[in-house]
Amino acid sequence: MSNSTTKAKDSPGSLERLQVDKDAVMVCQDNLSFMRPLSAGSMKLIVTSPPYNIGKKYERRSKLEAYIQKQTRVIAECVRLLHPEGSICWQVGNHLSRGEVFPLDIILYHLFKDHGLKLRNRIVWQFEHGLHCKKRLSGRHETILWFTKGDTYTFNLDPIRIPQKYPNKKHYKGPKIGQLSSNPLGKNPGDVWTIPNVKHNHIEKTVHPCQFPIELVERLVLSLTNTGDNVFDPYMGVGSAIVAAAMHERKGYGCDTVQEYVDIAWERFHSFHAGALRTRPMNRPIYEPRN
């Protein structure tokens, strides 16, 4: 593993500070500026969680129309970078205004369709912790819109199979009588994923207010790319997607406008390669308190 090189670049009006490793590129830069010089078709998986325009500390809240316009430009550039057999996974929740809920997947769906992308799944990410609402039900899920560029696309089911509920169940009649009736490699995980979100007691928690659980990105990396492919997160935060890519021998690309997050992303990346990064393993059962 080569060490990362850090090169300060004095370009006026830009936050640019190039940071490159042979297995990762993570830069403090606005995503449109980061993407422009990259080659068309170079990214097999683009996986991200954009700001939801709800006034988190890393975003300036704007009118919903202005937010959608910005997303339109970023999505267009992502589609240009997407490999012909590649996937885009846009993970979103709700924009909120005066107590009213605006589901971002519904709002953004057509921006992808306008580029001819095809929706393969709308994955529901279900989790247990979050704000307790007083005037509506507390939000306990978000979604991942998984689009492909074409009809031929990488999809590896075996690495993301989960244990069968009844692994020893056998055919009880017919020509296969006595043989196992379910796939011994496990079952398709389905499109509802129960994965703990990263709150204060999560092993992966950093200062970032809403980072991805690495296991969530691992599932997408394993199923939608092959070893050696490129994975890109245009809103990378503390680099969870880039670490997930590195864990499975893919090359990660990412950018974020907050230098502190980029620094933490590099720390996590190096910590992973040093064997010191603690992550929640994929498919660990959810903790159920006993009564």
Ligand X SMILES: C[S@@+](CC[C@H](N)C(=O)[O-])C[C@H]1O[C@@H](n2cnc3c(N)ncnc32)[C@H](O)[C@@H]1O
Interface with ligand X (CB under 6 A): 30-31, 49, 51, 58-59, 208, 210-212, 235-238, 240, 255-258, 261
Q: Please, what is the minimum distance in Å from the beta carbon of residue 94 to ligand X? A: 13
Q: Please, what is the minimum distance in Å from the beta carbon of residue 10 to ligand X? A: 20
Q: Where are the beta strands (DSSP E) in 187-242?
A: 192-194, 230-233
Q: Please, what is the minimum distance in Å from the beta carbon of residue 245 to ligand X? A: 12
- Nearest residue (CB) to ligand X, 143 versus 211: 211
- Nearest residue (CB) to ligand X, 147 versus 235: 235
Residues 6+ apart with CB under 8 A from 124: 141, 142, 143, 191, 192, 193
In the DSSP assignment, the letter for residue 179 is S
Q: Please, what is the minimum distance in Å from the beta carbon of residue 64 to ligand X? A: 16
26: closest CA among 279, 275, 261?
A: 261
- Nearest residue (CB) to ligand X, 117 versus 265: 265
Q: Please, what is the minimum distance in Å from the beta carbon of residue 171 to ligand X? A: 44
The residue behind tokens 């560029």 is 149
In one letter, which amino acid is 185?
A: L
Q: Which two tokens stand for residue 68?
A: 């959608």
Q: Are strands 118-126 and 100-103 parallel, antiparallel or unpaired?
A: unpaired
- Nearest residue (CB) to ligand X, 85 versus 218: 218
- Nearest residue (CB) to ligand X, 229 versus 256: 256
The residue whose Cβ lies closest to ligand X is: 237
Q: Which two tokens stand for residue 218?
A: 């691992």
